[in-house]
Amino acid sequence: MTERNERNELGDVRIANEVVAVIAGLAAVEVDGVAGMSGGIAGGIAELLGRKNLAKGVKVEVGEAQAAVDLFVVVDFGVRIPDVAYHIQENVKRAIETMTGLQVVEVNVHVQGVHFHQEERVEEARVK
């Protein structure tokens, strides 16, 4: 894994890709409508990682001064997916640029699944 290096009069500052990935994951799950990060698709079902391991479900490519991010998310049932994806893109870009000084050139959002809340399932079962 490469990292971003910056040199100043006091020495070097190195930002690991893992740090950028955690920042991106945290910024993504802050958005309303995001159930959590997806660890990939296992058996045709998106694995919901929730908020425990924020670097999972995030792929980051960091260059000298720029970064590109791919996020794999699970959204809540009933949200408008294009709106949620746009807010994820904005929040992730802002967080990375503010915290690292990197210019974010793209934030790709991959919606891997839809999360149904447990209470809704219980209510639906009672009605039937």
Residue 98 pLDDT: 97
Tokens at 59, concatenated: 């792929």
Q: Answer yes or no: is pLDDT of 128 > 80.
A: no
Name the most confidently modeled range: 7-16, 26-35, 43-52.
26-35
Confidence of residue 72 (pLDDT cuts 50, 70, 90): very high
Q: Which domain holds residue 97?
A: 3-127
pLDDT > 70: percent of the chain: 75
Residue 31 pLDDT: 97
Looking at residue 101, the DSSP 8-state letter turns out to be -
Confidence of residue 3 (pLDDT cuts 50, 70, 90): low
Work out the end-to-end distance of the chain between its first and last CA atoms, rounded to an integer number of angstroms: 52
| Side-chain half-sphere CA neighbours of 11 within 13 A | 2
Confidence of residue 9 (pLDDT cuts 50, 70, 90): confident
Residues 64-72: what's their mean pLDDT?
A: 93
Under 8 Å between Cβ of 21 and 60: yes
State the amino acid at position 35 in one-letter form.
A
Q: What gap in Å lies between CA 51 and CA 94, rounded to an integer?
A: 20
pTM of the model as a whole: 0.79
Q: How many domains are there within the chain?
A: 1
Helices 81-100 and 17-29: angle between axes, nearest 10 degrees: 140
Within 1-128, strands assigned E span: 3-8, 11-16, 34-42, 45-50, 58-62, 66-76, 103-115
Residue 41 pLDDT: 53
What's the CATH number where 95 sits? 3.30.70.1350
Tokens at 78, concatenated: 């009933």
Q: Answer yes or no: is pLDDT of 126 > 60.
A: no
